[in-house]
Amino acid sequence: MTATIDPDLILRVAAKGDGVTADGRHVAFSAPLDRLSEDGGLIKGPHHVEAPCQHFQSCGGCSLQHLDAESYAQFLTDRVAYALEGQGLAAELLHPPQVSRPKTRIRASLRAARLGDQFKLGFSGAGSHRIVDLQQCEIMAPELFDLLAPLRTFLKTAARRKHDMNIEMTLVDQGIDLLISNYEPEGLEQREALSDFAKANGLARLSVDGGYGPETQWEPEPVTVTLGGTPVAFPHSAFLQPTHEGQQVLISAMREAVGDARLVADLFAGLGTFTMALAEDQKVYAAEGARDAIGALKMAANHSTRQIFCEHRDLFRRPLSAEELNRFDAVILDPPRAGAREQVLQLAQSDVAKICYISCNPASFARDAKQLCDAGYKLRQVWPVGQFLWSTHVEIVSSFSR
C-alpha cells in the first residue's frame, strides 16, 4: 500500500519563506512538519521555535526566525539545489551551509522619520514602507545597535515631518562609519552639532548626503577596512561582506577552488576582499567597475608587497575576452545579484582551468552555471553561506573546472 500524505502537513519552506503544504498551499511563518488545523490555524511541529525578537513578523529584517537550526539549514541547501535543478544541474559536492551567528552583522541600512509627534528609527516593515521603531535586534553587531538610542535622540531634533532619512552604519577599523542620507544640516550650528555627536559617540566617520553625494562632517583619521592584513581605504557606501565570519567562510572556499594557481583574475573585485586574501606569491589582476572601490584597492596594493594589477573596467559593457582570459590559471568572479551573463559567455569560450564563482542570487548563479557547464566545465563543489541570518538570502561559492 502507498502511504497517503496528510494534505495539511507543511513539507518544506519555499524560496520566499512560506511553508508549503503537501497539496501546494503556501502558509506564512510556518515550519516543516507544522500542520494546518481544521479551522485554518497552525499546529506547530518539532521544527517550529519561538522567535527571539519582539519585532518578528512586523519587521522586514528577518522572516525565518521561527525555524530551528536544522530546518533553516535545509532551507538554504534547498534554495541552491532547486535553483541548479531548474537548469538541469547538480554539483558533484554540495556542502552543508555555513550560517553566521546572531548579532554579528557589521553593516545595516535603516530608515528614520518624524510622523506627527512620533519619531521612528529602524527597518522597514514586512511588505510595507512602515518603519518599525527598533527596540531590539538579534542580527546587528552590538556596537551598531548600541548607537541607535543616542542616534534616535539626536535625529529627533533634525528630522522634518514626513521626510524620511536613510541611515547606513558600517563597522570599520576605527569604529562605526555613519552616513545619513536625505538630510542636509542648515547652518553652522547644526554642523557643529553633528561633529559633537560624532565625537561624543566615538564615531570613525560621520557623513551626510543632501542629494548631491556624501559629505564628510567628521573623520579624525582616514577610515579603513583591513583585508588580508592590509588596510584599505573605505569609500562611502562601499560594499563589504555583512559578517566577518561569513567573509572568512567565503575566502576559505575561494582558496580551495583556486588552489595554487599562479596567475589569477579577480573580476568584480570591489575593495579586494578576495584579491587581498590570495597568497602573496600569487599574481592577481583585479577588475572593478566602481571607480572609488578600485581606486582604494589600487592604493592599498601599491603599499603592499603583493603582485596586484588593478583596472577600472565595466565588466558588463566590456567583459574580458576569451583571449584575455586564457592568460590566467584561475578566475574569480563575484558579480552583483544580476549575475555575470556577458562575462560568463566569454569564460565559456576560454581555456581557463579553474573558475570560482561567488554569488548572492541562486537564480542568476544557476543560469550562469548552465552556460559554463554547456561549454564543458564541471560544477565540482558548491558551498552555501548564510550571512543574512533568518532571511531568505543565501550566498554561494562554487568551483568549476574542465
The closest alpha carbon to 159, from 179, 182, 193, belongs to 182
CA–CA separation, 31 vs 18, rounded Å? 8
* Three cell numbers written together for 94: 554540495
Relative to beta strand 395-401, strand 378-386 is antiparallel
Catalytic residue chosen out of the listed positions 62, 310, 356, 360: 360
The sign of the torsion formed by the CA atoms of 285, 252, 241, 380 equals positive
Q: Side chain identity at 104, as an amino acid letter? A: T
53 counts as catalytic: no
| C-beta separation of 201 from 147 below 8 A | yes
Instruction: Tell me the β-bridge partners of 118.
Output: 115
The number of CA neighbours under 13 Å toward the Cβ of 18 is 8
Cell output for 194: 553633528
For residue 294, give the nearest of 321, 267, 320 by alpha carbon: 267
> What does residue 40 show for φ and ψ, rounded to 5 degrees?
90, 0
What is the amino acid identity at position 83? A
Separation CA 226–CA 38 (nearest Å)? 56
Give me the half-sphere count of Cα atoms (radius 13 Å) on the Cβ side of residue 387. Answer: 22
**Nearest-angstrom CA–CA distance, 366 and 295:** 31
Query: Could you list the active site residues?
Result: 360
